[in-house]
Amino acid sequence: MNFDLTEDQAAIRDAARDFAESEIAPSATERDLNAEFPSEIVKRLGELGFMGMMVPPEWGGAGLDTVCYVLAIEEISKKDASVGVIMSVNNSLVCYGIEKFGSDHLKEKYLKPLASGKLLGAFCLSEPEAGSDATQQRTEAVLDGDHYVLNGMKNWITNGVNADIYLIQAMTDKSKGYKGISTFILEKNTEGVEVGKKEDKLGIRSSDTCTLGLNNVKVPKENLVGSEGLGFKIAMETLNGGRIGVAAQALGIAQASLEAAVKYSKERKAFDAPISELQAIQFKLSEMAVLTEAARMLIYQAALKKDRREKFIKEASMAKLAASQAAVHCALEAIQIHGGYGYVREYLVERYLRDAKITQIYEGTSEIQRIVVARELLRD
Ligand code: CAA
């Protein structure tokens, strides 16, 4: 497998890096402290083509490959993982779902503005009683003439407060189990949609997360994505790509932690020498570098397979599992290397740890990724 970047891929990486350094990094600490959504940054990301990176230009996107996408998410998440997840949800979960399964009418009406950053999307699968066991959807959608009526509750919705559009799963036929789940596009300003309070989170604090109540919400019949009963397949296929995006987000945190640790260890002196000369520190740096690089290779592998239209379920889960472990490990070790300074806000590594933890939870916990990998191994 050739991991050399093409000129275009390197150019996208550099553009994302420049944007992250000049426009994301300066306000990241303050936004984290105030749990402030980066509205202006998201708008600029849209103008630059980062909100619909893999969507073909005829549907408003940048028409780039998944490798470009992971390179951009890594660079952006290195400076602020909150921005990384906002971008990842819009690209991988919302745009992809509509592009792959939606009608031309839905693409014209919703995908174009979502991919060009004029609208923001959120993905609604989890419920208070359906998390890892996502097949157990309680939200119902009942056909009534020319519209469906939705009732239920969704939670842990990334972008939920600021999104304009929700890609939402609901049960249209309970008797069929997960084969009775369907996907809809729901506009936020529809009567009966109740956006719950913003969660006060440990990390990724400048992204928003909320519950969504649905009380007799009318969704036009044509907003059904694909056909009735296709919802779980749409959710799972969409999440496969989403897991590559979260893996790239985690990689950005791991890489930022490693770079911070290397820099600090060369500057900080103890026992009359930089601490980088101590073997205890060198072992830590080596382990961090190995985990980060291994995660990067798994991510590129998953992205390349997706771009070649090969099956990539196992590779996406392996990438997410490894990258999220690398992120948590590297952030923890970066704090350890910084000592007391690592424990205060002045140095960024404490944020890296808080941001890293969620990558082991959302879009399928590490335990779910292990289940997915094992099932794929045993199936082969
Ligand atoms: N890709 C494609 N299809 C998949 C799949 C995958 N990764 N995982 C399962 N499926 C398919 C199965 O093949 C099966 O279909 P068939 O019957 O047609 O073969 C169907 O889905 C049901 O699968 P299982 O019988 O294996 O069902 P299960 O309940 O035993 O396991 C699960 C399913 C893997 C645990 C799944 O529920 C899962 O992935 N859970 C985690 C949910 C998740 O990731 N939630 C994230 C919330 S979204 C989020 O976090 C977004 C955000 O805002 C950041």
User: From the CB of 127, is ligand 1 less than 6 Å away?
Assistant: no
113-129 average pLDDT score = 97
pLDDT of residue 3: 80
Nearest to 116 by CA among 159, 61, 64: 61
Conformational region of residue 102, where left means phi above 0, alpha means psi within -120 to 50, and beta covers everything else: beta
Catalytic residue (choose from 74, 99, 350, 363)? 363
**Catalytic residue list contains 363:** yes
**pLDDT per position as a tens digit, 316-342:** 999 999 999 999 999 999 999 999 999
Q: How far is the CA of 61 from the centre of ligand 1 (A)?
A: 27
Nearest to 85 by CA among 355, 377, 314, 365: 355
pLDDT cut 70: percent of the chain above it: 100
Q: How far is the CA of 240 from the centre of ligand 1 (A)?
A: 9
User: From the CB of 166, is ligand 1 less than 6 Å away?
Assistant: no
User: From the CB of 132, is ligand 1 less than 6 Å away?
Assistant: yes
**pLDDT per position as a tens digit, 53-68:** 999 999 999 999 999 9
**380: confidence class by pLDDT, cuts 50, 70, 90:** low
pLDDT of residue 198: 94
Nearest atom in ligand 1 to the alpha carbon of residue 122 is: 53
Between 349-357 and 231-267, two packed helices, what is the crossing angle to 10 degrees? 160
**pLDDT per position as a tens digit, 83-113:** 999 999 999 999 999 999 999 999 999 999 9
73-92 average pLDDT score = 98
Report CA dihedral (365, 371, 377, 380) to the nearest 10 degrees: -110
The two tokens of residue 299 are 């991510």
Conformational region of residue 129, where left means phi above 0, alpha means psi within -120 to 50, and beta covers everything else: alpha
d(CA 78, CA 17): 9
User: From the CB of 230, is ligand 1 less than 6 Å away?
Assistant: no
**pLDDT per position as a tens digit, 228-263:** 999 999 999 999 999 999 999 999 999 999 999 999
Q: How far is the CA of 337 from the centre of ligand 1 (A)?
A: 39
d(CA 14, CA 268): 30
pLDDT cut 90: percent of the chain above it: 98
- Among 96, 101, 120, 135, which is best to mutate for testing ligand 1, by the most ligand atoms less than 8 A from CB? 135
d(CA 168, CA 122): 8
Q: Give the torsion sign (CA, 232, 237, 240, 241).
A: negative
Residue 369: C-alpha distances to residues 184, 326, 343, 373, 375 (Å): 26, 15, 30, 6, 10
d(CA 49, CA 363): 24
358-379 average pLDDT score = 97
Longest Cα–Cα distance of the chain, Å, equals 79
Q: Is the pLDDT of residue 1 over 80?
A: no
